């Protein structure tokens, strides 16, 4: 089986960083054509340099990193240093990146890569959808070469950044609207799923026991992320973004169903909410495969095994 051509759009972000490591460690299944960064958890300058730091940590210097949009399409910018720390990857303790980002803008890379694709490309999105939406707006013909979009964002249930909305969708709901209306196969991995994949102390200890630099960085980040999470929820770090990569590697770990999802763009309590038509009340056709359950033990077993494949620089 040949590796699946993939572009990851992200805003690292502690959980984005773990997702990138999982993808970098999975070259047999994932042909990572590039990583595009967007403003989100922290400003763009930091998300794109963090993507390059993670690339170095994974020993994958050949994967190009592109900087994208520094702000959302319409709404005022928001960020999440209160979760991820001022660097976005607090706890990883990584040096300056060894190589610069590519000169091209992420949106242009997305357009050019998709236009030139001989095999349809999968887009994995781990942050606000600004880059992907602008690529669609700039060149709608690229959609013909999108195999599927797998996105971390939204929720059937309630939110995490407001009572109603999840961060990635709330940070650029207009971009999310463009992507959910694009008419390509779309898998939504929302909070309902990611809050089932919790980095509990025993799961973190299994990763820490690998004794490598990537494992130490993952545990350093998730220790902090988990502690901040505990302040709000009754559990540690949810593996939001790594679920996207895990789904691509092992879809059998997840269960979900097709439904209509609309993004609330009106001002008010529900701004940025994904309205998921769980019971088909709208009569509108499904536009998303919405995941509802994950085998968390299977997920962490795979994550730990994949992290063990990364360069074993001792710590």
Supply the residues annotated as catalytic.
240
How far is residue 185's CA from residue 34's CA, in Å, rounded to a whole number?
21
Whether 251 contacts 298, CB under 8 Å: no
How far is residue 281's CA from residue 215's CA, in Å, rounded to a whole number?
45
- The string of DSSP letters for 6-26 reads EEEEE---HHHHHHHHHHHT-
Whether 204 contacts 224, CB under 8 Å: no
- Which residue, 13 or 64, is less far from ligand BDR as judged by CB? 13
How buried is residue 43: exposed, middle or buried, by Cβ count under 10 Å (0-12/13-18/19+)? middle
Q: Which of 160, 187, 196, 212 binds ligand BDR (CB under 6 A)?
A: 160
Q: Which does 167 bind (CB under 5 to 8 A by kind): ligand BDR, Ca ion, none?
A: ligand BDR
Does position 50 interact with ligand BDR (CB under 6 A)? The reply is no
| Number of chain positions touching Ca ion (CB under 5 A) | 6
> In whole angstroms, how close is the CB of 84 to Ca ion at the nearest point?
9
Q: Which of 37, 51, 73, 83 binds ligand BDR (CB under 6 A)?
A: 83
Q: Which does 166 bind (CB under 5 to 8 A by kind): Ca ion, ligand BDR, none?
A: ligand BDR
Number of separate helices (H) and strands (E) present in the chain? 12, 10
Does position 168 interact with ligand BDR (CB under 6 A)? The reply is yes
Whether 139 contacts 116, CB under 8 Å: no
Binding mask 74-113 for Ca ion (x = CB under 5 A): ----------------------------------------
- Of the ranges 13-21, 90-98, 280-288, 290-298, which one interacts with Ca ion (CB under 5 A)? 13-21
- Of the ranges 49-57, 139-147, 161-169, 174-182, which one interacts with ligand BDR (CB under 6 A)? 161-169
How far is residue 272's CA from residue 231's CA, in Å, rounded to a whole number?
23
Q: Which of 9, 15, 48, 223 binds ligand BDR (CB under 6 A)?
A: 15
Q: Which of 5, 8, 9, 13 binds Ca ion (CB under 5 A)?
A: 13
> In whole angstroms, how close is the CB of 241 to ligand BDR at the nearest point?
5
Whether 256 contacts 187, CB under 8 Å: yes
DSSP 199: -
How far is residue 222's CA from residue 242's CA, in Å, rounded to a whole number?
12
- Of the ranges 76-84, 226-234, 239-247, 278-286, which one interacts with Ca ion (CB under 5 A)? 239-247
Does position 24 interact with ligand BDR (CB under 6 A)? The reply is no
Does position 166 interact with Ca ion (CB under 5 A)? The reply is no
Whether 255 contacts 293, CB under 8 Å: yes
Does position 126 interact with Ca ion (CB under 5 A)? The reply is yes
Q: Which of 34, 88, 127, 238 binds Ca ion (CB under 5 A)?
A: 127
How far is residue 105's CA from residue 143's CA, in Å, rounded to a whole number?
19
- Which residue, 9 or 262, is less far from ligand BDR as judged by CB? 9
Q: Which does 83 bind (CB under 5 to 8 A by kind): Ca ion, ligand BDR, none?
A: ligand BDR
- The string of DSSP letters for 217-266 reads HHHHHHHHHHHHHHTTSSSS-B-TTHHHHHHHH-GGGEEEEEE-EEE--S
Helices (H), the chain: 14-24, 44-58, 81-84, 106-116, 130-138, 167-171, 173-180, 191-194, 201-208, 213-230, 242-249, 296-307
> In whole angstroms, how close is the CB of 215 to Ca ion at the nearest point?
21
Residues near ligand BDR (CB under 6 A): 13, 15-16, 41, 80, 83, 126-127, 152, 160, 166-168, 240-241
């Amino acid at each position: 089986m040949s590796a699946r051509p993939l572009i990851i759009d992200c805003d690292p972000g502690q959980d984005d960083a773990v997702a990138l490591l999982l993808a970098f460690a999975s070259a047999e299944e994932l042909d990572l054509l590039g990583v595009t960064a967007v403003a989100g958890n922290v400003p763009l300058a930091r998300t794109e340099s963090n993507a390059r730091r993670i690339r170095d940590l994974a020993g994958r210097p050949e994967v190009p990193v592109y900087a994208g949009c520094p702000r959302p399409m319409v709404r005022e910018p928001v960020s999440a240093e209160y979760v991820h720390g001022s660097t976005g990857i607090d706890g990883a303790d990584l040096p300056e990146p060894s190589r610069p980002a590519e000169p091209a803008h992420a949106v242009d890379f997305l357009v050019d890569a998709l236009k030139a694709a001989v095999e349809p490309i999968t887009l994995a999105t781990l942050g606000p959808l600004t880059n992907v939406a602008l690529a669609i707006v700039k060149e709608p013909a690229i959609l013909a070469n999108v195999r599927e979009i797998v996105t971390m964002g939204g929720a059937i249930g309630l939110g995490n950044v407001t009572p109603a909305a999840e961060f990635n969708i709330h940070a650029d709901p207009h971009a999310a609207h463009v992507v959910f209306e694009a008419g390509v196969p779309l898998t939504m991995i929302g909070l309902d799923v990611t809050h089932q994949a919790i980095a509990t102390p025993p799961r973190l200890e299994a990763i820490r026991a690998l004794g490598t630099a990537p494992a130490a960085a993952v545990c350093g980040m998730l220790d902090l992320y988990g502690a901040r999470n505990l302040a709000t929820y009754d559990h540690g770090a949810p593996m939001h973004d790594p679920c996207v990569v895990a789904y691509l590697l092992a879809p059998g770990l997840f269960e979900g169903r097709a439904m209509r999802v609309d993004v609330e763009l009106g001002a008010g309590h529900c701004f940025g909410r994904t309205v998921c038509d769980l019971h088909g009340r709208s009569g509108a056709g499904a536009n998303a495969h919405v995941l509802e359950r994950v085998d968390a033990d299977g997920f962490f077993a795979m994550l730990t095994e994949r992290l063990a494949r990364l360069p074993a620089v001792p710590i």
